[in-house]
Amino acid sequence: MLEPRERLAFDLALLAEGGSGLYSVVEWIAIAPHVCTEILLSAEEARVLGEQSPSRLVALDELAVTCPRDVLESLLEKQLLVAEGDEAEARDGRLRGTHWRAASAIMHSASRWHGVDTAKVARDFDAQVEGNVLDHLGPPPPVVREHVPADRRQVLPQTETSAFDQLLLRRVTCRNYDRSRRLALAEFSAVLYRTFGARAVVDMAPGVRLLKKGVPSAGGLHPTEAYLLVQRVEGVEPGLYHYHPIDHALEPIRILSSSEAVELAHRFVAAQDYFADAHVMVIPTSRFRRNFWKYRNHAKAYRALTLDVGYLSHTIYLSATELGLAAFITAAINEVDIEEAFGLDPLEEGPLAVCGFGYRAAERREVEFDPLHVVWPE
Ligand SMILES: Cc1cc2nc3c(=O)[nH]c(=O)nc-3n(C[C@H](O)[C@H](O)[C@H](O)COP(=O)(O)O)c2cc1C
């Protein structure tokens, strides 16, 4: 995708002529999932790129008859033209072979972070708006979208309070974990099993195996893997693991020292310290090829992957809450750092969120949204 992006530049000569010295520059930015970084293009490069076939290999000499050779070579260097047999062609081929919808691949690629520190981003924003965040944002849209006046609403019968209501009430996103205790192995195991564990393995057709789980999944494909960063769990060494949903077992990927585990936890959640303290992080990671095997180049497939992660994360919350544990989810994550740590190929597998759970601390250091004082007394 080519995006025209505008930025302000400064020219002393314009200042000397009595203006502000500022002028606007419009640049072409290419977002290409097989390259993984944004690429600046000249107007000429953008024009030449737009004239090329996205599917047919053409001899360079043939292209050079109508296009400037230096522009073609620059596009090859930027990997936006791919040459037969080169690394960029292989990556482009893998992307196509995974059956990504182009717009979804761009969306996914453009939303991945590397080394982002959200605390610094928040500080910079605060400085930019000089502390007047609400003045800057203005009021939010109203809390409810009302279509008719109150006297025209059909009021529904009250619901009798059930054990499920009590469970939902106790679900409060936790930003205060107990750093002094290890999580009991049985509790750790139960949350993983209830969320990700397979209840049945069904052979639907030769080579087509489906898992039945406690959560729904688009097409029944369950393409979401659970990667774990364990910090403090009884009987499990700190480290990176993959959860095997049929064997209900941990697959060790890398054993870590406690300090390495802390450092990676911070990095994964983009420096949100309060989440980095969780006893265990679960990283729901989509295996794109598994879903796109059925939903090829499909307009809804990527949306379905993100919805699948919503069910899983909420089941982590509810399973943890039922056991008296506390949980979180965040979408503000450094995907690239997570992929590197677990050795994942971003064209094949992508973390879409980071969840975590453990024991809530006795003392509240960070804010939690508990207006009914269910977990924190007044
Ligand atoms: C998709 C999603 C992303 C979230 N990302 C963050 C986050 O980056 N940082 C954070 O502190 N909380 C995050 N949360 C938690 C929300 O802030 C929290 O759900 C909300 O404040 C309501 O509180 P409750 O969950 O206790 O009801 C996220 C929640 C969801 C569902």
pLDDT in tens, the chain (378 residues): 999 999 999 999 988 888 889 999 999 999 999 998 899 999 999 999 999 999 899 999 999 999 999 999 999 999 999 999 999 999 999 999 999 999 999 999 999 999 999 999 999 999 999 889 899 999 999 999 999 999 999 999 999 999 999 999 999 999 999 999 999 999 999 999 999 999 999 999 999 999 999 999 999 999 999 999 999 999 999 999 999 999 999 999 999 999 999 999 999 999 999 999 999 999 999 999 999 999 999 999 999 999 999 999 999 999 999 999 999 999 999 999 999 999 999 999 999 999 999 999 999 999 999 999 999 998
Q: Is the CB of 371 under 6 A from ligand 1?
A: no
Q: Are 192 and 356 in contact (CB under 8 A)?
A: no
Residue keyed to tokens 């949903």? 245
Residue nearest to atom 1 of ligand 1 (CA): 331
**Residues with Cβ < 8 Å from 2, sequence gap 6 or more?**
28, 29, 30, 31, 41, 46, 49, 50
CA pair distance 296, 158, nearest whole angstrom: 45
Range list of H helices, the chain: 12-16, 43-50, 60-63, 69-77, 87-97, 102-110, 118-128, 133-137, 163-170, 185-196, 258-268, 273-276, 288-294, 301-322, 335-342
What is the Å distance from ligand 1's center to 140 Cα? 17
Residue nearest to atom 25 of ligand 1 (CA): 173
Residue nearest to atom 27 of ligand 1 (CA): 172
Q: Is the CB of 332 under 6 A from ligand 1?
A: yes
Q: Are 233 and 222 in contact (CB under 8 A)?
A: no
Alpha-carbon distances, residue 147 vs 2, 143, 275 (angstroms):
40, 13, 39
Beta bridge partners, 209, equal 203
Two tokens, residue 264: 């990676």
Q: Are 316 and 355 in contact (CB under 8 A)?
A: yes
Backbone angles phi, psi at 242, to 5 degrees: -120, 140
What is the Å distance from ligand 1's center to 114 Cα? 21
Work out whether strand 239-244 and strand 280-287 pair parallel, antiparallel, or are unpaired.
Answer: unpaired
Best of 307, 330, 364, 373 to mutate for ligand 1, by most ligand atoms within 8 A of CB? 330
What is the Å distance from ligand 1's center to 106 Cα? 25
CA pair distance 322, 343, nearest whole angstrom: 33
Alpha-carbon distances, residue 167 vs 162, 164, 315, 319, 366 (angstroms):
9, 5, 12, 9, 22
Best of 169, 172, 173, 266 to mutate for ligand 1, by most ligand atoms within 8 A of CB? 173
Q: What integer pLDDT is reported at residue 57 of this predicted model?
A: 93
Question: Across 189-238, where does the E strand assignment appear?
Answer: 198-205, 208-213, 224-230
What are the boundaries of each domain within the chain?
2-97, 163-358
Beta bridge partners, 7, equal 25
Q: Is 155 helix (H, G, I), strand (E, B) or coil?
A: coil
Q: What integer pLDDT is reported at residue 131 of this predicted model?
A: 85
Q: Are 9 and 22 in contact (CB under 8 A)?
A: yes
> Which atom of ligand 1 is nearest the CA belonging to 275?
11
Q: Is the CB of 71 under 6 A from ligand 1?
A: no
Q: Is the CB of 369 under 6 A from ligand 1?
A: yes
* Architecture of the domain defined by 163-358: 3-Layer(aba) Sandwich (3.40)
Alpha-carbon distances, residue 183 vs 73, 127, 232, 238, 324 (angstroms):
57, 39, 6, 12, 12
